[in-house]
Structure 1
Amino acid sequence: MEPIIEINQIEYSYQEDLPTALKNVSLSIEKGEWLAIVGHNGSGKSTLAKTINGLHLPQKGEVKVGGMLLSEENVWDIRKMVGMVFQNPDNQFVGATVEDDVAFGLENQGIPRDEMLIRVKDALETVKMSKFATREPARLSGGQKQRVAIAGVVALRPDIIILDEATSMLDPEGRREVIETIHQIKEESNLTVISITHDIDEAASASRILVMQKGELVQEGTPEKIFSEGPRLVSLGLDLPFPEKLKAALKVRGIQVPESYLDEEGMMNWLWTSVLKK
């Protein structure tokens, strides 16, 4: 399968006297893949995301999206393929009502009104916010606001959605709602999802994880591979998933634990069959 995104040895710096934000980064992303990019503040993960939709043009190297080489001439064509959901949904709202806000991006693209009405309705149904269509966005909960922001992106029907710390301001229930919504949309539309996150549980939803440090790609692999290297994650300033923390605590108590990574369901099954039944 041909990659939908190809990044080849890109570099980017905000200012000459500042450290390089991206250093010789290369990677490819397949269509339909869910990729998580993790790293502490200043690691370059958000800068990397912004080079994919042309908010930043790399100063060295190449970025291809859908087979198109990113340039000043075609940046708007590429942005039609890439939708971004940011950290604070309040900064994205421009409409007086939820449906007005979802329609805003469609108006900018010159979508005919009849088509626009269909897309707004479908997008709100997809994120389960239809009954809030005439509400003011300011009166919604954090999770509801973020779902509206997602609806605004979904209505544009991009091939790629980037979540740039999109769940970081939400409570655990809000984060769960948003991730479940993205999963549903991804499966229905075969979207490519890129999740920029500090949240290890969100990263666990991905099929592949990239670890960034000081502008460089230092590690990549499946969640199982990345999370099994607990001490290395901690050294990079990242948290560990709860099952890995629990395994470490049990190990201190002299209980033999599996070497391989377990998600929450796997941990529950292992506890039930190997520990609680003894």
Structure 2
Amino acid sequence: MKNPLIELNNISFQYYGQEHKALNDVSLTINKGEWVALIGHNGSGKSTLAKTINGLISPESGEIKVNGELLTEENIWDIRKMVGMVFQNPDNQFVGSTVEDDVAFGLENQGVPRDEMIVRVNNALERVRMSDFKIKEPARLSGGQKQRVAIAGVIALAPDVIILDEATSMLDPQGRQDVIETIRALKEETNLTVISITHDIDEAAYANRVLVMKQGEIIHEGTPEEIFSHGEALIGMGLDIPFPEKLKASLRKKGIDVPNEYLTREGLVEWLWTYGLRK
């Protein structure tokens, strides 16, 4: 039985001075423990949609429920405790002079007792493999390390949902992989619900569902395999083409009859191996 954690019903929103709506009658349900990826071109409404979930943006019409509770002005701070966000540039989230001070900042604002705060800060830093950097200045960290500290600051608050708003887009490939693996491990350990706004094919591949947005509407929905099987049409959806699909296209040009269904890298390697044996 599905357990809806987030429900958006007929959400619409338009920025002041803009001709078109950023969100146009969007409805969406996200279940507890799901990883949902939102993809689409810049301006498609992905970040706007995410910001409605924790009240950073108030929709002009429609309703939002988090954990069965209707989001209102009266309970917005309680809802924000359930939904943590990690943004594109970690430097914009740092407020502490050291890593541990920064992770503790949100806990201090919530009035968490000091003894409990210390435990939660240490646990959060351990989860993201940053314990050895507790007394370092955030400014002296690499991009991937900074983003892991930003994630630690969110998970110390123990939210039910974590939203990654292009959180890996400014990182190098290794930093990007480190952050994705950190989130994946956290999800497995705590049944965390993850919403990732991304252009990164590897990040989207971890999702249970991929939602494609265009001009404020959800135009496609499916598993990563179903979405990735669109091949070159993915470019129009705001994603790069996965490597297996690129290789399959090259093989087709050489006259090789490759499977139509989407294959992961491992699946494609296995198919190539059996294809080679047949030859």
- 1:83-142 per-position Cα deviation (integer Å, ceiling 9, x unaligned): 000000011111111000000000011100000000000000000100010111111111
**Cα shift at 1:238:** 2.9
**Who is 2:145 aligned against?**
144
**Cα shift at 1:2:** 2.6
- Report the number of matched residues: 278
**Over aligned residues, Cα RMSD in angstroms?**
1.2
Residue segments in structure 1 that go unaligned for 5+ positions in a row: none
1:41-56 alignment to 2 at 5 Å? 41-56=42-57
| Aligned partners of 1:7 and 1:28 also within 8 Å | yes
**Cα shift at 1:231:** 3.5
Structure-2 change in CA distance of 1:276 and 1:144 (3 Å): farther
Q: For residue 127 of structure 1, what is the amino acid of its counterpart?
A: V
Rounded Cα–Cα distance in structure 2 between residues aligned with 1:267 and 1:94:
46
Structure-2 change in CA distance of 1:15 and 1:276 (3 Å): farther
- 1:137-179 per-position Cα deviation (integer Å, ceiling 9, x unaligned): 1111111110000000010000000000000000111111000
**Who is 1:66 aligned against?**
67
| Aligned partners of 2:244 and 2:263 also within 8 Å | yes
**Cα shift at 1:275:** 3.4
Residue segments in structure 2 that go unaligned for 5+ positions in a row: none
1:190-209 alignment to 2 at 5 Å? 190-209=191-210
Rounded Cα–Cα distance in structure 2 between residues aligned with 1:277 and 1:173:
37
Rounded Cα–Cα distance in structure 1 between residues aligned with 2:220 and 2:201:
15
| Aligned partners of 1:97 and 1:135 also within 8 Å | yes
Identity, in percent, stands at 70
TM-score, normalised relative to structure 2: 0.97
Superposed structure 1 runs of 4+ greater than 4 Å apart: none
- DSSP-derived class of the 1:58 partner: coil
Structure-2 change in CA distance of 1:174 and 1:17 (3 Å): closer
- DSSP-derived class of the 1:167 partner: coil
- 1:16-37 per-position Cα deviation (integer Å, ceiling 9, x unaligned): 5431000011110000000000
- DSSP-derived class of the 2:152 partner: helix
**Cα shift at 1:264:** 1.7
**Who is 2:234 aligned against?**
233
- DSSP-derived class of the 2:124 partner: helix
| Aligned partners of 2:95 and 2:102 also within 8 Å | yes
**Who is 1:133 aligned against?**
134
- DSSP-derived class of the 2:91 partner: helix
**Who is 1:266 aligned against?**
267
Rounded Cα–Cα distance in structure 1 between residues aligned with 2:135 and 2:18:
49
1:1-278 alignment to 2 at 5 Å? 1-275=2-276, 278=279
Rounded Cα–Cα distance in structure 1 between residues aligned with 2:71 and 2:276:
54
TM-score, normalised relative to structure 1: 0.97
Which has the larger displacement, 235-244 or 151-160? 235-244
**Cα shift at 1:239:** 1.6
- DSSP-derived class of the 1:256 partner: coil
- DSSP-derived class of the 2:261 partner: coil
Rounded Cα–Cα distance in structure 2 between residues aligned with 1:31 and 1:130:
29
- 1:45-74 per-position Cα deviation (integer Å, ceiling 9, x unaligned): 000000011101111111100111111111
Structure-2 change in CA distance of 1:115 and 1:187 (3 Å): same
